[in-house]
A and B are shown apart, each in its own frame.
Chain A
Amino acid sequence: MKTIIYTCPYVPAEWIAAHGLHAGRVLLDSVDPGFSAARAEGVCPYVRSFIGEVINNRGADGAVVTTVCDQMRRAFDIIVRNCDLPAFLMNVPSTWQTLAAQKLYVDELKRLGGFLIGLGGKAPSKDTLAETMLAYDDARTSIRSAREHLSAKQFAEAIAAGGSLKGEAFGDGSSDSGHPQAALQAATLRVPLAIVGGPLMKPDFDLLDMIEHLGGRVVLDATETGERGMCPKFDRRRLREDPLLELADAYFAGIPDASRRPNSELYRWLKRELAGRAVRGIIFRRYVWCDLWHAELGRLKEWCNLPVLDIDSAGDNETDRPRISNRIRAFMEMLQ
């Protein structure tokens, strides 16, 4: 089966899978594995990593990039000039409150469908799409219900794997792979925290363990690669009536992000989730040169009554790790 790689949460895995292709949401590994930008300064580490991943990926048959951030949009130009992998730039509107913006998103999904067919995919029937969506919906439900039985890192890994699921259920979370009961009880004694920000890279998942080790417990992963980037549950009735519209509605309207204009839904979602999980502090994780998230830091601090710790990363894990560890340790001391 051909594999289509992407990272953006606004690319529905179901849509790719329904075309008979493998949706490979990439969990980026490290910065700059192969892309030798002469001027790396000013380029977000995540974007650098993505460019390297696409250019060096030997297993992918196509890549989908989105316009959600300006640097990713520019990354597409670098990719098409530097590698032969077929690539598609999907226009995800920043505005979301108008019918025109919603229709544009649907039209872009259809255009993406054309790209997938060009790579050997098959236009899905209504029933095929609906069945695929149901399978993914079930998988996400399984992942969500497993959250309380998993460490934050395990949960993040489960979400990351979810995008590549091809439909199989994750399990109910009560399996041996989760935290042992004693560990879970100990976890409830730790300080409940939220991690908020853009996407994490694979090495960043260690940050979640680090937080637990230092006395915290991430009860809300509001990063792009975490719960915040998961499409909400489908409306099953609408799914049967018009699966493509339901797919578009769930993804386009259901994933809150800093990039939306206005991005009030992000704060509405955070308000609900932070209160619902009794969060006592926020770790704000951002990449250097990521304007969209960086600009939210000040607003978030003014908006919420919780302490916020800013953790920026230039993508150099060796340098970042001790600095981040010290900062989180101090944050935890303040909260405990």
Chain B
Amino acid sequence: MTDAPERITLEEWDVQYEKLRRAGMRQPQYGGPLSRHVEDGDHRLRKLRYDNSAAALRLWNFLLTEEDRLREARSAGKKIVGTMKDLGTVPVMAYCFDNVAAFYPDGAWWIPCVMELSDGLLEVADSLGIDESFCPVRAMLGAFVTGAHFPIPDMLICSVGATCDDLSAIAQRLNGLGHPIFWWEMPHRRCPEQDEPAVILPGGIAAPKCQVEFVKSELERVKAALEELAGERLDEEKLSAGISQANRVRQYLAELRYLAFTAEPCPIPALEMLIAEMLAIHFCSDRRETIAVLGELLEEVRGRVNAGLGVLDADAARIFWVNPVADLQVMNLLEDCGGRVCGTEYLFTHALDMIPQDVPPLEALARCALADPMAGSSIDRAERICADVRRFGAEAVLISRIPGASHCALEGQVISEIVAETLDVPVLEIEVPPVTDSMSPTLRTRIEALVETVRARRRATQGIRSDR
């Protein structure tokens, strides 16, 4: 544990950085002061508040140097694979090859936020007919056209079928611009019918065995394509070893999430947890380093929990967060309003659940892929959210709507209704665009209202108890 935990500004991080450096902080090759990234155009960093630990610094530096890592990988002769939409499955396979680095071009959806729209990616998307009626993932299209944010991959792999229309449509547009795409099918996950052989997926949902087999056959195709690209065969042993490594990431995250969402006081801010969770999707282009980064963060959090230290007031309202935010600052805003994140469902629970290791590896990956919350019904998703709300003891649910996203408009309604029917907790839905500055007062008011509601309900509960 490095210091008394607190949330600090970027300027304060410069001071903290010097202090840690003088104290002998060991840094990886990509280390350095956070503020240097502002010079690269990451202007949003100036407005965020960060955890003050060396572990958090390493996490941020790891995240913000991914483009450099990808370019280094290319220079070193590695094949770059852009995996789109499946959020957590294909990269497990890709990182089993010695000469492949995989990343999610979809991740470009945060570039307009981090660069405060100075990147021009959304304007490029506009010019290609992909306007603001699409979700912010349209920034990906701009990133491909400008070529300024990641190397153009040697291969693009995209899951389609039971996915969002935004990414599917944008990927097809990309394909039309001359980028070949390897499409693979993700069927809509359904409940097994009576007497139909079923499999329990990671996360506890049942699916028909035939659907698992179908996804497995699709992943066989993906594997063959990767083998051809890499010029290397991927046998079961190698794939199993890759799954073990992915599970180490997931194991660290499981403990991190449990401590972050349940310990009193909250040991780590929501923003760092969001970034940590994201690493599970594709290891930020370096699986080994992801394990090291998360390991250090976990050590920090364990130390804080054991010492009873945290970054927020002990009475912070316990909020379960649904969907990732396009503007990272909103995670700070929740805490500024007196809340803390106690549970998340950022649309990739299947990248957090442990991959089964007691079945053949490709079947294990198929089970994980099919557990994708987006592949199933909104009802399944809502039920998982309810279970996790109970598990982490959240007092309210905040659904962060992604502007333009095809799934959000109807799904938010289903989730709200089911949460309200199942649990006696308030639900709030907000919409978060890539940069929220102009609507910050409105968002603040709405989140404050949710926090006040939680506190009022606590008072009412305590009043009932004292009356007894």
Contact = CB atoms under 8 A, between A and B. Distances in A.
Interface in A264-301: 288-289, 291-292, 294-299, 301
B146 interface: no
B411 interface: yes
A75 interface: yes
Interface string B345-381: 0000000000000000000000000000000011100
B418 to A, nearest CB: 8
A80 to B, nearest CB: 8
A101 interface: yes
Contacts of B169: 258, 291-292, 294-296
A37 interface: yes
A217 B133 CA distance: 31
B185 A107 contact: no
A295 B172 contact: yes
B217 A298 contact: no
B181 interface: yes
A93 B188 CA distance: 9
Contacts of B379: 77, 80-81
Contacts of A107: 210
Given A70-B407, A77-B378, A299-B176, A261 B166 contact: no
A217 B160 CA distance: 37
Contact of A43 (B166, B188, B193, B410): B410
Contact of A295 (B130, B210, B414): B130
A38 B187 CA distance: 29
A264 to B, nearest CB: 9
B165 A95 contact: no
A77 B414 contact: yes
A177 interface: no
Given A100-B218, A262-B172, A291 B165 contact: yes
Contacts of B60: none
Contact of A261 (B128, B129, B160): B160
A91 B187 contact: yes
Contacts of A100: 185, 214, 217-218
A83 interface: no
Contact of A297 (B129, B165, B175, B185): B129
B406 interface: yes
Nearest to B162: A67
B412 interface: yes
A28 B417 CA distance: 27
B429 interface: yes
Contact of B165 (A43, A89, A292, A298): A292
Contacts of B133: 288-289, 291, 294
A143 B406 CA distance: 35
Contacts of A296: 169, 172
A262 B185 CA distance: 11
Given A73-B162, A74-B410, A74-B411, A261 B183 contact: yes
A67 B408 CA distance: 16
Contacts of A101: 185
A315 to B, nearest CB: 14
B251 interface: no
Question: Most chain-A Cβ atoms within 10 A of its Cβ — which of B166, B173, B176, B429?
Answer: B176
B162 A299 contact: no
B462 interface: no
B188 A91 contact: yes
Nearest to B130: A295
Contact of A95 (B161, B176, B404): B161
Contacts of A81: 379, 414, 417
A95 B182 CA distance: 10
B47 interface: no
B170 interface: yes
B409 interface: yes
A81 to B, nearest CB: 7
B413 A78 contact: yes
A294 B130 CA distance: 8
Contacts of B412: 39
A47 B193 CA distance: 27
A104 B187 contact: yes
A145 interface: no
A94 B165 contact: no
A286 B331 CA distance: 36
A245 B171 CA distance: 31
Interface of B: 128-130, 133-134, 158, 160-166, 168-173, 175-176, 181, 183-185, 187-188, 190, 193, 210, 214, 217-218, 221, 377-379, 401, 404-414, 417, 429
Given A77-B379, A291-B404, 17 more contacts: A71-B407, A73-B188, A91-B187, A93-B187, A94-B168, A95-B183, A95-B184, A104-B187, A261-B172, A289-B133, A291-B165, A292-B168, A294-B129, A295-B134, A299-B176, A301-B129, A303-B176
